């Protein structure tokens, strides 16, 4: 099993200085490179302090200048927010300046609130169509002159300038629905999956969908399957509630965004008061501890082994959940020192 890091610049409230957050983020990326991670991922989100990522390629350019070997990925570039020529060129530039380290993740986007501001009139549930028109276009532009007359974009002959250094840039899609697994296999895309806070049965469902898609497409290469979980390691078992509290807080903000409840003030989503959700299963502390990658190093190693056994190729360590900066660094240090060596 290989390991990848997903990390955002994030502020859950205005008490953190953004410069401290930026320093922390690059230090985490460098720790991951030194500790044996093979990919680090930057997201794309807009007008939200909890995921500060207005251009993932700017972030990857920053990371490229401060690293030398770790691969650099977008998780994900939101197709509907881009023009194909610009997206192809931005991605290729990162591949160029990083000497061929780009991993290109593309997807549909997450929050209706963002679509209301970035692509007015578009429903998030329809944005998969933009992704499916965009991906073959970007690949074609990387190869040379291309013209296009499609549903969402039209342009005369153009190409990507620059071109990627890699002959074939690895492409990733985020997948939950069976149709997306089938699309990934048919189009030679690797897969990022995220069971959110659900249990191992959800993870197994995703593996089953991958296996079914591979079986339905004979002759196609099996994609790399990466699975993401919020991750927090600690030295003492009695510290288990610390990441749980951070996760509960972030979950309440995510619920606000996913349900488009409003209440985002100066970029900070309003939290749903914990006392109002304390009895709901999705906020249960024991469930969060069991299902997320929380624990001491030995506990996390034991939690990861079933993922490896079911066929997960790469584990994505999702560091961003409003956990304290020092706690995040200690967690990553423990993971690099104890967990990664256990899977070599």
Question: Can you give the CATH number for the domain in which 331 is found?
Answer: 3.20.20.30
Any domain includes 234: yes
Query: How does DSSP classify residue 69?
Result: S
Q: Band the pLDDT of 257: cuts 50, 70, 90.
A: confident
Contacts of 341 (CB under 8 A, 6+ apart): 36
60-65 long-range contacts, Cβ below 8 Å, gap at least 24? Answer: 60/94, 60/98, 60/102, 61/93, 61/94, 61/97, 62/26, 63/26, 63/29, 64/94, 64/97, 64/98, 64/101, 65/97
Domain holding 26, by residue range, is 2-240+294-342
Of the candidates 127, 36, 122, the residue with the CA atom closest to the CA atom of residue 76: 127
pLDDT given at position 44: 98
pLDDT given at position 18: 96
Tell me the mean pLDDT in the region 16-40.
Answer: 98
Helix (H) or strand (E) holding 30: helix 18-35
Query: How does DSSP classify residue 270?
Result: P
Of the candidates 9, 67, 5, 4, the residue with the CA atom closest to the CA atom of residue 322: 9
Any domain includes 308: yes
Of the candidates 164, 88, 77, 93, the residue with the CA atom closest to the CA atom of residue 127: 77
Query: Residue 160 class from Cβ within 10 Å (0-12 exposed, 13-18 middle, 19+ buried)?
Result: buried
- pLDDT tens digits for 260-287? 776 899 999 887 777 776 678 889 999 9
The 3-state DSSP class for residue 314 equals strand
Any domain includes 209: yes
pLDDT given at position 255: 83
Find the range with the poorest average confidence among 93-97, 98-102, 131-135, 278-282: 278-282
Tell me the mean pLDDT in the region 33-59.
Answer: 97
- pLDDT tens digits for 189-240? 999 999 999 999 999 999 999 999 999 999 999 999 999 999 999 999 999 9
Any domain includes 273: no
pLDDT given at position 259: 77
| Percentage of the residues of the chain whose pLDDT score is greater than 70 | 99
Q: Band the pLDDT of 128: cuts 50, 70, 90.
A: very high
Number of domains observed in the structure of the chain = 1
Q: Band the pLDDT of 256: cuts 50, 70, 90.
A: confident
- pLDDT tens digits for 143-200? 999 999 999 999 999 999 999 999 999 999 999 999 999 999 999 999 999 999 999 9
Any domain includes 279: no
Any domain includes 160: yes
Any domain includes 53: yes
Any domain includes 188: yes
């Amino acid at each position: 099993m290989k390991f990848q890091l997903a990390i955002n610049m994030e502020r859950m409230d205005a008490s953190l200085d953004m410069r401290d957050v930026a320093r922390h983020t690059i230090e985490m990326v460098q720790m991951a490179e030194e500790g044996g991670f093979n990919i680090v991922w930057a997201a794309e989100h807009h007008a939200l302090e909890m995921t500060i990522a207005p251009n993932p390629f700017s972030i990857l350019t920053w990371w490229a200048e401060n690293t030398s070997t770790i691969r650099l990925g977008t998780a994900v570039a939101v197709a509907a927010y881009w023009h194909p020529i610009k997206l192809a060129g931005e991605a290729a530039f990162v591949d160029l300046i990083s000497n061929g380290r780009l991993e290109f993740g593309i997807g549909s986007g997450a929050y209706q609130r963002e679509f209301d501001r970035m692509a007015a009139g578009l429903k998030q549930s329809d944005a998969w169509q933009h992704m499916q028109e965009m991906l073959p276009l970007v690949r074609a532009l990387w190869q040379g002159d291309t013209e296009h007359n499609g549903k969402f974009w039209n342009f005369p002959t153009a190409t990507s300038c620059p071109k990627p250094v890699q002959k074939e840039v690895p492409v990733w899609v985020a997948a939950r629905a069976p149709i997306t697994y089938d699309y990934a296999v048919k189009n030679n895309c690797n897969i990022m999956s995220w069971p959110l806070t659900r249990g191992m049965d959800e993870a197994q469902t995703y593996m089953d969908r991958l296996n079914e898609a591979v079986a339905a497409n004979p002759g196609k290469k099996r994609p790399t399957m990466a699975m993401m979980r919020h991750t927090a390691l600690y030295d003492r078992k009695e510290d288990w509630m610390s990441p749980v509290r951070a996760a509960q807080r972030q979950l309440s903000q995510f619920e606000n965004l996913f349900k488009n409840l409003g209440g985002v003030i100066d970029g900070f989503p309003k939290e749903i008061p914990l006392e109002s959700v304390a009895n709901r299963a999705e906020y249960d502390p024991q469930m969060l501890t069991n299902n997320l990658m929380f624990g001491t190093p030995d506990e996390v190693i034991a939690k990861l082994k079933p993922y490896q056994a079911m066929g997960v190729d790469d584990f994505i360590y999702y560091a961003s959940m409003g956990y304290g900066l020092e706690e995040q660094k200690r967690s990553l240090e423990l993971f690099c020192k104890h967990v990664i060596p256990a899977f070599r």
